[in-house]
């Protein structure tokens, strides 16, 4: 995912969120939620007195579901990115012997939606028009097989008659042209997570077009997630300490960097849609924000890297990641906990369900195509929704459209989500449309993430949370992957 921040100073800038109107009434997500009702039917009867006909035979025995014949292909395709030998997950699901003890727990995690870690979901408030690329969630049929396997005692089956295993998801960009790698080894020990930023010179002496990226964890056991940014100003180089990096949290630690990629274990390379590429200005630096999660023993990472594929020709569309949100201006809408008579971004201590909403009117923008979207909050966040409202929709486009909802938000599994649709079919944005953000927070001790964050700061009780970059600050930020026709961007 590539990007040029839309409100930045770069040459290819689109003032997407710069003009916003206030005083909008009934903003809401404007999302049409459809409900389905139906007659559940009745039991079969004998046709005479309405009573159920007697059962004369026992129900047939369920067909056996086994590891080698049914479950191993699912685990390889959906779980091996993390649950493999040497992976960041605490146990492997790569073989029958390693997977069987965890079978009930795996089923429970899948049924609760916590695994595989894919936060995008369909809800009553949000039903996106398109599915997602590389969606690791189990299908209904796969879930039924897993459930039956566990209920039958997790039998192994016949290894000699094992079903063919699919190829694991491709996690390497095999045709990359440039690799930028952390310049110094990092030692990770103890029991506290670390967030470190590395400033790297990719050596681009000319403006360069990029159409694919991939982040690779140098040590998969401790690299939890990575965010990559383009720093056109070079300011990140001045923050590097004698160890070759600088502490940071949730971002690059500077104001002028633009997000180009996000990675969590199991993610596949990102390739932009056909004829779409992003520009990295000559002289820019790359900032890798790496989240390290300790294992309890000394570990070393020396090779975490970002691969870039260069496009040799100028693209038809410019790809960008727009970062929209975090407003305390007129875009911020009133909340029930405002104390001063005007909207303020403040999450009161002890409140379990606080909501902040923002509405951005997108004036003076060229036609945009939204091919990817992501949400970003910190540890207090629990749910985020991004909606698009069109006062004058074009033919075939809804007036109100939900782009993404992450109802089980978890800071540790943030990523961007690409629509599984051709560029011509993805949602479009026109001048005058409005982007709506709804962010839910739980700033109480019932939120385990808040408890852990407070403990790291030596605090025993929640405090009011405001916008900011630190661990106990918060954000409400949409990451929107857009394509703009080159003729409209210059």
Residues 219 and 263 grouped into a single domain: yes
Question: Residue 106: is the preceding peptide bond cis (ω within 30°)?
Answer: no
Report DSSP letters for 345-388, one per residue: -EE-TT-SSEEEEEEEE--S---EEEEEEEEE--TTEEEEEEEE
pLDDT, tens digit, for every residue of 179-219? 999 999 999 998 888 999 999 999 999 999 999 999 999 99
Q: Which domain holds residue 237?
A: 169-315
Query: Per the domain annotation, does 48 fall within a domain?
Result: no
Q: Of 284, 315, 346, at which residue does a domain stop?
A: 315
The pLDDT value given to residue 290 = 95
Q: Of 161, 195, 217, at which residue does a domain stop?
A: 161
Query: Per the domain annotation, does 50 fall within a domain?
Result: no
Q: Of 315, 347, 367, at which residue does a domain stop?
A: 315
Residues 399 and 477 grouped into a single domain: yes
The pLDDT value given to residue 461 = 96
The pLDDT value given to residue 58 = 57
Residues 290 and 186 grouped into a single domain: yes
pLDDT, tens digit, for every residue of 132-155? 998 889 999 999 999 999 999 999
Provide the domain count of the chain: 3
Residues 304 and 358 grouped into a single domain: no
- Residue ranges for the chain with pLDDT beneath 50: 1-27, 29-57
Q: What is the CATH number of the domain that holds 244?
A: 2.60.120.310
Q: How far is CA 62 from CA 70, 101, 145, 330, in A?
A: 14, 22, 11, 60
The pLDDT value given to residue 29 = 46
Residues 391 and 452 grouped into a single domain: yes
The pLDDT value given to residue 60 = 56
Q: How far is CA 229 from CA 3, 132, 195, 362, in A?
A: 8, 23, 15, 24
DSSP 8-state class, residue 488: H
Alpha carbon distance 73, 139 (integer Å): 13
Residues 487 and 381 grouped into a single domain: yes
Residues 398 and 485 grouped into a single domain: yes
The pLDDT value given to residue 101 = 94
């Amino acid at each position: 995912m590539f990007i040029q921040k839309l409100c930045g100073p770069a040459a290819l800038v689109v003032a997407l969120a710069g003009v916003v109107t206030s005083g909008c009434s009934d903003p809401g997500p404007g999302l049409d939620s459809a409900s389905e009702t139906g007659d559940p039917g009745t039991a079969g009867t004998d046709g005479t007195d309405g009573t159920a006909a007697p059962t004369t035979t026992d129900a047939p025995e369920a067909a056996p579901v086994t590891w080698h014949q049914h479950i191993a292909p699912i685990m390889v395709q959906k779980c091996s990115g993390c649950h493999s030998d040497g992976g960041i997950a605490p146990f492997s699901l790569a073989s029958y012997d390693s997977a069987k003890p965890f079978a009930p727990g795996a089923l429970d995690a899948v049924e609760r939606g916590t695994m595989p870690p894919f936060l995008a979901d369909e809800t009553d408030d949000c039903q996106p028009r398109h599915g997602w690329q590389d969606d690791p969630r189990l299908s209904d049929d796969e879930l039924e097989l897993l459930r039956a396997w566990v209920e039958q005692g997790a039998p192994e089956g016949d290894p000699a008659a094992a079903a063919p295993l699919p190829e694991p998801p491709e996690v390497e960009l095999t045709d990359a042209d440039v690799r930028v790698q952390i310049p110094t080894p990092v030692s990770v020990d103890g029991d506290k997570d670390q967030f470190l930023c590395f400033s790297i010179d990719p050596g681009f002496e000319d403006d360069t077009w990029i159409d694919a990226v991939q982040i690779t964890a140098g040590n998969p056991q401790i690299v939890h997630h990575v965010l990559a940014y383009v720093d056109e100003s070079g300011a990140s180089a001045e923050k590097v300490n004698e160890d070759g990096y600088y502490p940071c949290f949730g971002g690059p630690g500077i104001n002028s960097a633009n997000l180009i990629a996000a990675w969590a274990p199991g993610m596949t390379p990102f390739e932009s849609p056909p004829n779409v590429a992003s520009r990295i200005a000559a002289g820019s630096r790359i900032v890798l924000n790496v989240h390290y999660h300790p294992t309890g023993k000394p570990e070393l990472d020396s090779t975490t890297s970002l691969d870039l594929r260069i496009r040799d020709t100028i693209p038809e569309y410019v790809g960008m990641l727009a970062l929209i949100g975090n407003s305390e201006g007129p875009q911020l809408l009133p909340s029930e906990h405002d104390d001063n008579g005007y909207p303020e971004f403040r999450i009161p201590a002890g409140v379990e369900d606080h909501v902040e909403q923002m509405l951005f009117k997108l004036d003076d923008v060229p036609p945009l195509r939204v091919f990817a979207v992501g949400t970003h909050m910190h540890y207090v966040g629990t749910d985020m929704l991004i909606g698009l409202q069109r006062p004058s929709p074009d033919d075939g486009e809804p007036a109100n459209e939900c782009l993404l909802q992450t109802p089980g938000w978890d800071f540790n599994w943030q990523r961007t989500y690409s629509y599984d649709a051709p560029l011509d079919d993805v949602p479009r944005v026109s001048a005058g449309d409005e982007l709506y953000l709804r962010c839910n927070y739980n700033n109480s001790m019932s939120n385990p993430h808040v408890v852990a964050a407070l403990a790291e700061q030596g605090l025993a009780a929640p405090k009011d949370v405001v916008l900011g970059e630190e661990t106990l600050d918060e954000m409400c930020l949409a990451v929107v992957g857009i394509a703009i026709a080159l003729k409209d961007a210059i």
